Structure 1
Amino acid sequence: MRNFLALLPLVAFVLWLVGFRRSAAMAGIWSAALCAALAVGAFDYPVDASSVLGPLAEALFACATIVWIIFPALGIYEFQKDTGATQTIGRWLAGVSGKPQVQALLIAWFFGLFLESAAGFGAAIGNIITPHNIVAGAATVGAVGRKGEVLRQTLPVCAIYAAVGGLLLFALGHLL
């Protein structure tokens, strides 16, 4: 029963996001509140200053890490815009393909590579790239406003991938 309670915030997040069509920020806030309530109510998490401030400090550190990656990228973007390099890149993209779908996929791909190189090898940049690529892909195939439908179609595949990956990690962890 406790395992199902532990999954409840994730299920609630997807339900609020897809089922009730709430924004990711609101779904995240409500899921975090549900997670905190379950931690205290069902898992006997202590409610003292260090137990509450520790996770908040960790969340702040995670946000600072993301800002540490994005802020220099925005600075380089502004530099490129001021020097005219953005127009040069635009002309190059127009020369590669006249299709906006191909151009959007190239931009999404190179944006991910740029952030990975700016952050350094091994950074958890996938947390930033994945939502960006979903938005870029949805815009290129005309799925804007239908992200919930796209998520419903891709969620089973992601769940299978996570289950297989989890089983492999579990098996390798016990074999090594």
Structure 2
Amino acid sequence: MVILALLPILFLIVALGFLKMAGWKACPIAAIISFIVAVACYNMPVPIAISAALEGVALACWPILLVIIMALFAYKMTVATGGLDTIKQMLTTVSEDKRVLFLLIAWGFGTFMEGMAGFGTAVAI
């Protein structure tokens, strides 16, 4: 019975690691496998399984969408208030080398987003 519960995870490991399947294809297949295993092998009622699947989708999407919406809000706010022009002017006085500016912007933006929202926001964006 434990192997049946591990089947979706094993499928993801094989599909992503060995078959080089795209994540957006492999994850729905793993969700369907887990749904079938829950209903067929563990006698979970279908309405409860559907409810659990929908709750899982909602709990997975909500933090990501919240982070993206807040990042867009912060960007639009800095553009509207003129803060982005101030940042651009300050960064151009640091160095003429575009590589150095790129590293400063990447590091600074990641740190800014982490401080603003936390929990891996820069990685999500």
- The two structures have a TM-score, normalised by structure 1, of 0.51
| Partner SS state of residue 106, structure 2 | helix
| 1:9 CA displacement | 1.2
User: For 1:108 and 1:7, how far apart are their aligned partners in 2?
Assistant: 39
2: CA distance, partners of 1:107 / 1:55: 37
Could you tell me how far apart the structure 2 residues matched to 1:73 and 1:118 are? 9
Structure 1 residues 68, 89: closer, same or farther in 2, change over 3 A?
farther
Mapped to 1, the partners of 2:117 and 2:52 lie a distance apart of 25
1:19-58 matched pairs, under 5 angstroms: 19-47=18-46, 49-58=47-56
CA distance in 2, matches of 1:89, 1:28: 44
- For the 8 Å contact 2:35–2:49, the answer to whether it is kept is no
The alpha carbon displacement at 1:40 in A equals 1.6
Instruction: State the distance in 1 between where 2:99 and 2:31 align.
Output: 41
Q: Give 1:130 shift.
A: 4.9
1:11 matched to 2:10 = yes
Is the alpha carbon distance of 1:58 and 1:11 closer, same or farther for their aligned partners in structure 2, counting shifts above 3 Å?
closer
CA distance in 2, matches of 1:28, 1:108: 31
User: 1:132-167, CA deviations, whole angstroms, 9 ceiling, x for partnerless residues?
Assistant: 6xxxxxxxxxxxxxxxxxxxxxxxxxxxxxxxxxxx
Greater than 6 Å deviation, 4+ residue runs? none
> What residue ranges of structure 2 are gaps of 5+ in the alignment?
none
What residue is the counterpart of 1:154 in the other structure?
Answer: none
5 Å matches for 1:1-176? 2-47=1-46, 49-81=47-79, 83=82, 85=84, 88=88, 91=91, 95=95, 99=99, 103=103, 107=106, 110-111=109-110, 113-119=111-117, 125-126=119-120, 129-130=122-123
Structure number with higher relative contact order (C-alpha < 8 Å, ≥ 6 residues apart): 1
SS in 2 for 1:45: coil
Residues 8, 110 of structure 1: CA spacing in aligned structure 2 closer, same or farther, 3 A cutoff?
A: farther
Alpha-carbon distance in structure 2 between the residues aligned to 1:12 and 1:68: 29
Q: Is the 8 A contact 1:69 1:119 kept in 2?
A: yes
CA distance in 1 between partners of 2:7 and 2:108 (Å): 33
Aligned amino acid, residue 80 of structure 1: T
My pick for the range that moved more, 38-47 or 75-84, is 75-84
What is the CA-CA distance between 1:117 and the residue it aligns to?
3.1
Cα displacement (A) at 1:55: 3.3
